[in-house]
Structure 1
Amino acid sequence: MAALVYASRMPECPFEVVLVTGDRPNATGLDLAEAEGVPVVRIPRPTPKDKSQFFAALELVIDQSGADYIVLAGFMRILPEEFVARWEGRILNIHPSLLPKYPGLDTHSRAIEAGDSHAGCTVHVVTAALDEGPILGQLAVAIATGETPETLAARVKLAEHQLYPRAVADYVSRWRDPAALLARVRALALALPETDERESHGSPGFRVGGDKTGKYFAYFADQHHGTPHIALLVRTGSMDELLALVEDQPEVYFKPAYYGASGWVGIILNRPGVDWDAVAAWLERSWRGAAPKRLTRLMDVADEF
């Protein structure tokens, strides 16, 4: 936690620590956070009978803080499934092993007993399955001759302090990372029937309908033609619709150079809080506008019911 607090104060750090809380109201980490001027809420430690009330109180103070993400740092309780579901993709954890090796407890002694050459730490997204969420980063630590769990734990802790702030920074700023945004667009576009990717005018483009007769239904644009936007370009139904979208929601849509004259709209992706369900819906709609009738006929019939 201290490593995250101090990292947040480095120039260009993309995250801010808006709250420190936990299940041990007398934890020294809370004292450190208070001394550094970070907001702290001390929640009474739960008994087995009031766990549900504890997690309700925990989520309430997190909501009130305005936090966008939860970063676990020595929080040893398993979060309820419904809690994780509400914060899906927005809870991060660091685990003292090179996952998928040694989930759970006693990781250092297990690595030593197994004769491993390295231990380490892993930052991952929290899911309902313990220590099984997507891995965001790892750092290996050599196991020395005569190593004990205590000496290994001390060096793994040093590695954790280096890895965690960087992994958190990379994750929370992925909304402005062109490679991460393209990967997400690509996964959605290529999931549609008979699509392929081909570069066009220097941009990744997505087509439907085959190699010879395929038509483009989407482009990925990384600040092309002098705009500050990383964007998905898709077809609209008309120039009137394009202009209305841009006028009503200029923080989401813009008229792209070159493509805008043909009724394509730009959906701005390098902004927090992108609605990826809406992006997927735009891709499907644009795909249907370009796809051959043999692919859309059944969809058109289904729409009538």
Structure 2
Amino acid sequence: MQKARIAVLISGRGSNMAALLYAAKAADCPFEIVLVAADSPDAAGLRLAEGEGIPALGFPKPTGKDKSQFFEALDLQIRKSGADYIALAGFMRILPSSFVGGWEGRMLNIHPSLLPKYKGLDTHKRALEAGDSHAGCSVHIVTAELDDGPVLGQTPVAILPGDTEDALAARILIAEHQLYSRVLAEYVQRDSQPEAILAQVRERAMALPRAEETLSHGMPCFGIEKGKKFAYFTKDHHGDGITALIVKTTGEEEQAMLIEEDPDLYYRPAYFGPSGWIGIRLDGGATDWDHVRDRLETSWRLIAPRKLADVF
């Protein structure tokens, strides 16, 4: 499994960072921590990360005009680490729009309230003063507006009679540690889920002339209107554990040649194989979607009426 690479930004003890770091130690976790960075060399979380063998950087606290240079240097180090995503974990800096824009859709934050309630600071105090029955935490995508990005997950935490800010904060912190790793894992895998892969296939298949989508043998398939099928989408068909696209070739000779050239990508699908169809695995990560589009078009041409194929 190719794991998503995460850079975690902290400002202090880094307890949420630690929760992510230890979650990443599980063999089946879809992400790994490649960098922990802080806006202070004295941030306690840096020592924890170093002790666990994670590269850790502490930058001098930026002031005034140094802030732009701080974020430029931070961005440079994150990119050098090879990070795919950024996880903010108690990073107490307002991010400039240029920094946020450079990581659009690839930066998450955990916030100690049930957003959109109580953006910003003093969330526990505000929940108590409002007489709320529950407080909680949220994981959201970071956008230029403070605590305003799409919410990916939340955990409500009951407010108990006589609660203090500190008591409520301690319980919410436990919830944060549980929520962040789960939501981050789901988010970095979103493009590898069968439904997302099917959407990518559908976009390309339905762009072909007179294409239509139907179901056949429980599988989504694509064909020419009132005509033959040119592609099937398979997900764990007959328990094979494979997510793939099945398309036509010119025959068993081409099928065998493709499998020999790249056995990790191509395979001979059950039931379809004897007719010269070939499976293209879509569950290996880093799918070449241009190649998928080309194979779909080739398959479409093999079954399209000549008059239709000639004008495409």
- Would you say same fold, with TM above 0.5? yes
- The alignment-based identity, stated in percent, is 57
Per the alignment, do residues 293 and 140 of structure 1 end up closer, same or farther by CA in structure 2, a change over 3 Å counting? farther
2-structure distance, mates of 1:293, 1:107: 66
Structure 2: stretches of 5+ with no match in the other structure: 1-16
Per the alignment, do residues 101 and 204 of structure 1 end up closer, same or farther by CA in structure 2, a change over 3 Å counting? farther
Check whether the contact 2:140–2:149 (CA below 8 A) recurs between aligned residues.
Answer: yes
- Say what the alpha-carbon RMSD is for the aligned residues: 3.8
For the residue of structure 2 that corresponds to 1:74, the secondary structure is coil
Check whether the contact 2:231–2:296 (CA below 8 A) recurs between aligned residues.
Answer: no
Q: Give the structure 2 partner of residue 18 of structure 1.
A: 34
Q: Give the structure 2 partner of residue 39 of structure 1.
A: 55
1-structure distance, mates of 2:119, 2:182: 22
Q: Give the structure 2 partner of residue 63 of structure 1.
A: 79
Residue 165, structure 1, aligned to residue 181, structure 2: yes
Per the alignment, do residues 143 and 60 of structure 1 end up closer, same or farther by CA in structure 2, a change over 3 Å counting? same
1:25-174 to 2 correspondence within 5 Å? 25-174=41-190
Structure 1: stretches of 5+ with no match in the other structure: 301-305
Per the alignment, do residues 252 and 75 of structure 1 end up closer, same or farther by CA in structure 2, a change over 3 Å counting? farther
For the residue of structure 1 that corresponds to 2:65, the secondary structure is helix
Per the alignment, do residues 285 and 104 of structure 1 end up closer, same or farther by CA in structure 2, a change over 3 Å counting? farther
Pairs aligned (count) = 294
Per the alignment, do residues 53 and 115 of structure 1 end up closer, same or farther by CA in structure 2, a change over 3 Å counting? same
Per the alignment, do residues 74 and 230 of structure 1 end up closer, same or farther by CA in structure 2, a change over 3 Å counting? same
Q: Give the structure 2 partner of residue 224 of structure 1.
A: 237
1:19-48 Cα shifts (integer Å, max 9, x gaps): 111212211111221222222122222223
Check whether the contact 2:36–2:49 (CA below 8 A) recurs between aligned residues.
Answer: yes
Q: Given residue 133 of structure 1, which amino acid in structure 2 is its aligned partner?
A: G
Per the alignment, do residues 140 and 191 of structure 1 end up closer, same or farther by CA in structure 2, a change over 3 Å counting? farther
Q: Given residue 244 of structure 2, which amino acid in structure 1 is its aligned partner?
A: A
For the residue of structure 2 that corresponds to 1:18, the secondary structure is strand
- Offset at 1:134? 3.6
Q: Given residue 126 of structure 2, which amino acid in structure 1 is its aligned partner?
A: R
2-structure distance, mates of 1:242, 1:82: 49
Q: Given residue 282 of structure 2, which amino acid in structure 1 is its aligned partner?
A: L
Q: Given residue 92 of structure 1, which amino acid in structure 2 is its aligned partner?
A: L
TM-score by length of 1: 0.75
**Structure of greater relative contact order (alpha carbons < 8 Å, 6+ residues apart):** 2
Q: Give the structure 2 partner of residue 274 of structure 1.
A: 287
